A and B are shown apart, each in its own frame.
Chain A
Amino acid sequence: MALASPISALVPTRILDRSEVARDVILLGVEAPGLVERVRPGHFAMALLPGGQAAGVALGIYEARGERCSLLFFLAGDRTRRLGALRVGDRLDLVAPLGNGFDCEGAERDVAIVAGGVGIASVLLPAQALLARGARVRLFYGARTAERLVEAERFAAEGCELLLATDDGSRGYNGVVTELLAREDAAEAILACGPTPMLRAVSAYAQERNIPAQLSLEEAFGCGVGGCWGCVVPIVRTSAQAPSFPPSDADGSDVVHARVCVEGPVFRAHELRW
């Protein structure tokens, strides 16, 4: 696991391009010189809403190349709608890059990436890194409907094998993506990002088969930079990601709360106690 904290900064950016890749799904490209070289697979950014007033939005960094990074997000509430209302040329300040990111330097040659919904935004950079070192990458990608399987073709074009699932059967396997994962040949390693129920199922699957799995967690953030302890997850005290913290009386001494924003968002499945 890439454990070293990135050198993050407050990065003023400008919107270069904006597209609605599906209904209520926005891809924003931003010009961010100096940021791209610091971004590793699985890093995220806090996007500060213009005018403040509401907490920043934590978004996986989708693409990072040249002087352009992009953010892919669903219009799900007030805050994402304010972000989605930005236009080309507008300013957008990011606190980035944040988090530990995925470890893509392992020796595994056959890797499964499991993505659910907006989790797809955090797995393009790891897919590219794995493909670049010659690994076979299968993308298990689930969404509610075919229309919501955004950017699937992009992953195919990069060289991923696509295994798709939809809740309504409108494309690919009719059911949840973790069922599809269990029906296929096991990979040597798993990277996953998506809603918590999906991650729990991936975790159970991987631990039954003793497959190393890295999970990028979704949790509501307060500050996003480690100051508020709002976004925690229980992990084993023996984890290299466990913050230095004494055992407490009321709770077991083998578990400690780690911050998803700083110690994570990527955790090893077998170290979580959620």
Chain B
Amino acid sequence: MVELSKFDLSARIGSLVLPYPTVALSGCYGSGAEFAPYVDLSRLGAVVLKSVTRRPRMGNPTPRIVHTPAGMLNAIGLQNPGIEWYLQHDVAKFAQTPCATIGSVAGFSVDDYAYVCERLAARNEIAAIELNISCPNVAHEGETFACDPELTARVVRAARATTDKPLIAKLSPNVTDIATIARSAVAAGADALAVVNTVRGMAIDIYQRKPRLGNVTGGLSGAAIRPIALLAVYEVARAVSVPIVGQGGIETASDALEFILAGASAVGVGHANCADPRAPRGILDGIVEYMTQQNVRRLRDLVGAANTGFANINQIEGDEG
């Protein structure tokens, strides 16, 4: 067993300091409780909860999951009970979660985001808010926000006006220039960026001669998208100086370290939880082994170390502290 306490593994997301850099991603991990029988949630930096919308959503028709050679397509379609029900029935349970819980907000208009963000951020159980402006699986509207710098700014600005809690904007890889979107989100008040959501994709059943997902298209996660996500982190880290939660196909400590060296302060684990619920812990232990070998005591000293010209806000804040 790796001795974690000798190292400073903390990661800062706005005013929120996570004890560990590993984050279980939205939509893959329920509320965390689903995985509690298999893993020690207290060794996670945070759980990002499943996205919630203003109204209840039944989600997409099945099949919603297709396994592909190097990853997984999903098209869940934001199935969720809506914010009112969520506040009444679900949120209180998150107080039991032994790590930070980050709420995830999705919507179909700027007003939706502001409304749900305000209601959810008001709850003590919620440490920060992720704005899911990049869901690829809800008609057109969901992802439109993260594909347009002005719409991104409007959502972030509206959400920013409702809360002082850390705001994380989750960006889409399905754009021409992610740096432009990142700058826009930060200028509008995002404290951190989640980079990136799934890559759009599809699969076809050649015998039935039809798409394999009920929704036709879906979001690809897993190893297939790792280099795409890594480049996105690298580019965003050069464009803005807020913390980045790097995500996209991270399965091992060396994957995670690539994202950290590219400029991510924290790393998200999604699809890898389907392969092994212990993946985030394995990643954490592997990071510590690497730090031991490399004689590095503070994780933040590695953030952006392979990215020349990167403004390392965590390091600056850490040095001041």
Contacts and interface: CB of A to CB of B under 8 A. Distances in A.
Contacts of B59: 229, 232, 257
Interface stretch (B5-13, B235-243, B275-283): B275-283
Interface string B21-36: 0000001111000110
Contact of B274 (A228, A249, A255): A228
Contacts of B66: 220
A227 B28 contact: yes
Interface of A: 7-10, 48-49, 52-56, 77-79, 93, 95, 219-233, 244-251, 255-257
A13 to B, nearest CB: 14
Contacts of A248: 55-58, 82
5 nearest CB pairs, A to B:
A227-B30, A230-B65, A248-B56, A55-B274, A227-B34
Interface in B25-77: 27-30, 34-35, 37-38, 50, 55-59, 62-67, 69, 72, 74, 76
Contact of B58 (A7, A93, A223, A251): A251
22 contacts: A8-B37, A9-B37, A49-B275, A52-B279, A55-B67, A77-B67, A222-B72, A223-B277, A224-B274, A225-B37, A227-B28, A227-B29, A228-B27, A228-B29, A228-B76, A246-B84, A246-B85, A248-B55, A248-B58, A248-B82, A251-B58, A256-B58
B46 to A, nearest CB: 15
A194 to B, nearest CB: 17
Contacts of B76: 228-230
| Residue of A7, A77, A222, A244 ringed by the most chain B CB atoms within 10 A | A222
A178 B72 CA distance: 33
B307 interface: no
B273 interface: yes
A53 B38 contact: no
A250 B58 contact: yes
B81 interface: yes
Contacts of A251: 58
A18 to B, nearest CB: 22
A225 B277 contact: yes
Contact of A52 (B58, B89, B276): B276
Contacts of A48: 275-276
Contacts of B315: none
A93 B64 CA distance: 26
Given A52-B275, A52-B279, A245-B81, 14 more contacts: A48-B275, A48-B276, A55-B271, A219-B62, A220-B63, A220-B64, A223-B273, A226-B34, A227-B34, A228-B30, A228-B65, A232-B59, A245-B85, A247-B56
Interface residues of B, number: 43
Contacts of B271: 55
Contact of B67 (A54, A219, A228, A256): A54
Contact of B277 (A53, A95, A230): A95
Interface of B: 27-30, 34-35, 37-38, 50, 55-59, 62-67, 69, 72, 74, 76, 79, 81-82, 84-85, 89, 222-223, 251-252, 271-279
A10 B223 contact: no
Nearest to A244: B89
Contact of A225 (B35, B57, B64, B89): B35
Contact of A220 (B28, B65, B272): B65
Contacts of B37: 7-10, 225
B67 A225 contact: no
B79 A229 contact: yes
Contacts of A226: 30, 34
Secondary structure call for the A interface = loop
B277 A10 contact: yes
Contacts of A246: 56, 81-82, 84-85
A223 B39 CA distance: 14
Contact of B65 (A7, A53, A221): A221
B69 A227 contact: no
A7 B38 CA distance: 11
B56 A245 contact: yes
B251 A222 contact: no
Nearest to A255: B58
A54 B69 CA distance: 8
Given A225-B35, A246-B85, A93 B276 contact: yes
Nearest to B27: A228
A56 B28 CA distance: 14
